[in-house]
Structure 1
Amino acid sequence: MTVQDETPITDREDIAKRLLRSSAKASFDPLVEIDWDAPIDEDVYAIRPERLSLYGTELWERLTEEQRKELSRHEVASIASIGIWFETILMQMLVRHAYDRDPTSNHVQYAYTEIADECRHSVMFAKMVGRLGAPYYRLDSVTQFLGRVFKTISNGPLTFGGALFVEEILDQLQRESMVDESLEPLVRAVSRIHVVEEARHMRYAREEFARMWQGRNPVSKLYSRIVLGLVVYYSTTRLINPKVYAAVGLNPREARRAARRNPHWIDTKTWAARKVVATLGGAGAISGPGRYFWRKAGLLGRPGNSATAATSARA
């Protein structure tokens, strides 16, 4: 199965024209649309408890309900911090993508539009992190350095494959959060804006990835699979910064080990990645040595788990 079988590739200019039209009708200014002065409701979760990295573990049982809710705010802040990191990389890669192309084309004008969207999203995420009472969870120096390398060596399939991966993971978590009225209102408002605008970004990335992947030779595809696997591994394993555990009184090293082995957390990551795994796996972009990193990141399910095994098999 190929990406084309799942998502027919339309004319590049035609799809960009439609995306530009959609952007004109449904774009948001988070600084205006969101009530940033509203108090944070600390009596509710910021994300569903079953999506938290320690849910179901012995450490989870040690926490009070108040600590669990505080952990939810810090884990949302950590995920948003990763979002800011990758959006900053993506904006640079989109500028490079547009650099040698005709700016009068719809395709390049939509790339510029997406860059503007991502700028607003990064500001929105940053403001949300601050309002949740959490710090900006800066990545470790190795991952920070690898991010610089990736944006420099990225080719077309890597740019759009990597973008699609990060956007799909966030999209799945936020689609669930935005409709759950039991969750923190600010997180729901941020999720709603991001979901609406990222739907266009994912369409753009999905079709551009498919278009560029078709023309790659076997060596280029092998290179792309390996680098994409590394990007996926480092992005996924850094979603939850160990410092979030210290914020609720846990030992970061012990909690990180528990989260890494937690079947509930592995299943959540597999669930969040299932669509992008189907898309990229169907194209043959998750195979060979690169597939090792997807599995090591916990995105292809747990051995013996029928639900996650079915997702993995489709890839």
Structure 2
Amino acid sequence: MEVAPAETERAAVAERLLTSSLRTSYDPTVEIDWDAPHAPGGYWLPPHRSSLYGTSLWEQLSQEQRVELTKHEVASAASAAYTIANRLVHPDVYAAVGIPPAVGRATARANPHWRATLRWSAARVHANLADVGLVAGPGRLLWARAGLI
């Protein structure tokens, strides 16, 4: 019996999705030691991934405030991921360390380190979508115009 072209195409897309997912998947239940205590005074993400890293606001923060900011940024990102939102920082992460949210957001938007972090994050999503042929033509142009690729 001959397989219909639509079935063959669906099988090919499913295979590409599975291959891409296996290559880029991250399983926090396996890759994170959840029983290990957090190191006191340790950053919650690499400092250069913080939205304010490399700015004058970053320089004005104490070491304790920088660590606290990264903690709130990680919590913000986890919350956004949980609600299937994009990976934008919630304004209250800045208020948590005494920075007016509008000032923090404006500084982060102008910060080349933060823009690089957003591009770094988007690159993984884009790679998955591109691998399965879902980002091409006008769609790719939108990603580029947004500065994500």
* Cross-structure match for 2:80: 82
Instruction: Give me the whole-angstrom Cα distance separating, in 1, the residues matched to 2:124 and 2:118.
Output: 11
* Cross-structure match for 2:63: 65
8 Å CA contact 1:67–1:248 kept in 2: the answer is yes
Q: CA separation of 1:295/1:251 partners in 2, compared to 1, >3 Å: closer, same or farther?
A: farther
Q: Residue type of the partner of 2:104?
A: A
**Once the 2 structures are TM-superposed, how far is the Cα of residue 296 of structure 1 from its aligned partner?**
5.4
Identity %: 42
1:34 aligns with 2:34: yes
Q: Structure 1: give runs of 5+ residues left out of the alignment.
A: 20-25, 87-233, 301-315
Q: Structure 2: give runs of 5+ residues left out of the alignment.
A: 1-8
**Once the 2 structures are TM-superposed, how far is the Cα of residue 34 of structure 1 from its aligned partner?**
3.3
1:53 aligns with 2:13: no
8 Å CA contact 1:243–1:252 kept in 2: the answer is yes
TM-score, length basis structure 2:
0.69
**Once the 2 structures are TM-superposed, how far is the Cα of residue 74 of structure 1 from its aligned partner?**
0.3
Q: Residue type of the partner of 1:270?
A: R
* Cross-structure match for 1:247: 96
**Once the 2 structures are TM-superposed, how far is the Cα of residue 240 of structure 1 from its aligned partner?**
0.8
Q: Residue type of the partner of 2:47?
A: P
**Once the 2 structures are TM-superposed, how far is the Cα of residue 267 of structure 1 from its aligned partner?**
1.0
Q: How does 1:245-284 map to 2 (within 5 A)?
A: 245-281=94-130, 283=133
8 Å CA contact 1:45–1:72 kept in 2: the answer is yes
- For residues 28-74 of structure 1, the C-alpha deviation after alignment (integer angstroms, 9 at most, x for no partner) is 59xxx833xx7644411010000001111111111111100000100
- For residues 229-255 of structure 1, the C-alpha deviation after alignment (integer angstroms, 9 at most, x for no partner) is xxxxx614xx21011000000011011
8 Å CA contact 2:119–2:147 kept in 1: the answer is yes
1:291 aligns with 2:134: no
**Once the 2 structures are TM-superposed, how far is the Cα of residue 85 of structure 1 from its aligned partner?**
0.6
3-state SS of paired residue (2:83):
helix
**Once the 2 structures are TM-superposed, how far is the Cα of residue 271 of structure 1 from its aligned partner?**
1.9
**Once the 2 structures are TM-superposed, how far is the Cα of residue 284 of structure 1 from its aligned partner?**
5.2
Please list every run of at least 4 consecutive aligned residues from structure 1 whose deviation after the TM superposition is greater than 4 angstroms: 26-29
State the aligned residue count: 129
3-state SS of paired residue (2:105):
helix
Instruction: Give me the whole-angstrom Cα distance separating, in 2, the residues matched to 1:295 and 1:73.
Output: 30
Q: What RMSD, in angstroms, separates the aligned Cα atoms of the two structures?
A: 3.5
Instruction: Give me the whole-angstrom Cα distance separating, in 1, the residues matched to 2:64 and 2:48.
Output: 15
Q: How does 1:93-132 map to 2 (within 5 A)?
A: none
8 Å CA contact 2:126–2:135 kept in 1: the answer is no
Instruction: Give me the whole-angstrom Cα distance separating, in 2, the residues matched to 1:287 and 1:273.
Output: 18
Q: CA separation of 1:299/1:257 partners in 2, compared to 1, >3 Å: closer, same or farther?
A: same
Q: Residue type of the partner of 1:291?
A: L
Instruction: Give me the whole-angstrom Cα distance separating, in 2, the residues matched to 1:11 and 1:83.
Output: 24
- For residues 243-283 of structure 1, the C-alpha deviation after alignment (integer angstroms, 9 at most, x for no partner) is 10000000110110111111111111212222332343462
* Cross-structure match for 2:6: none
**Once the 2 structures are TM-superposed, how far is the Cα of residue 290 of structure 1 from its aligned partner?**
7.0
Q: Residue type of the partner of 1:254?
A: V
Q: Residue type of the partner of 2:34?
A: I
Instruction: Give me the whole-angstrom Cα distance separating, in 1, the residues matched to 2:37 and 2:130.
Output: 43
8 Å CA contact 1:42–1:70 kept in 2: the answer is no
**Once the 2 structures are TM-superposed, how far is the Cα of residue 8 of structure 1 from its aligned partner?**
8.2
**Larger relative helix fraction:** 1
